[in-house]
């Protein structure tokens, strides 16, 4: 059975593949070793973009917020997506 967050991950993957067929995407598997990061690390149109996927209405953890702030301070973009509406908004921002 798929979790609500896994469904959002699938929706995001399909949307990115459709909107940006030449993008680079890395989805790290976090196992508690090394530095933590967000769910998707991408290069889209020459820009560093990270996505954190959440079940609808859920918020980032304090650690995820720290990582998102680090990415933003370094000049990257961060999107938190929790379903089709927020994914569509992110795609529009990146187009």
pLDDT of residue 64: 95
Q: How many domains does the chain have?
A: 1
Of 39, 59, 35, 58, residue with least CA distance to 49: 39
Looking at residues 2-12, what average pLDDT do you find?
94
Return phi, psi of residue 84, to 5°: -55, -40
Q: Which residues pair with 81 in a beta bridge?
A: 53
pLDDT digits (tens, 9 = 90+) for 25-84: 999 887 767 778 999 999 999 999 999 999 999 999 999 999 999 999 999 999 999 999
CATH number at residue 28: 3.40.1350.10
Of 88, 53, 48, 94, residue with least CA distance to 70: 48
pLDDT of residue 94: 96
**Domain ranges, residue 66:** 4-94
């Amino acid at each position: 059975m798929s979790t609500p967050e896994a469904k959002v991950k699938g929706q995001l993957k399909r949307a990115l593949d459709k909107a940006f067929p030449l993008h680079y995407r890395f989805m790290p598997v976090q196992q508690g070793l090394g530095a933590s990061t967000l769910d998707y690390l991408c290069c889209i149109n020459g820009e560093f973009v990270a996505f954190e996927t959440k079940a609808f209405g859920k918020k980032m953890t304090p650690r995820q917020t720290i990582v998102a702030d680090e990415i933003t301070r370094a000049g990257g973009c961060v999107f938190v997506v929790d379903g089709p509406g927020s994914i569509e908004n992110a795609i529009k921002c990146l187009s």
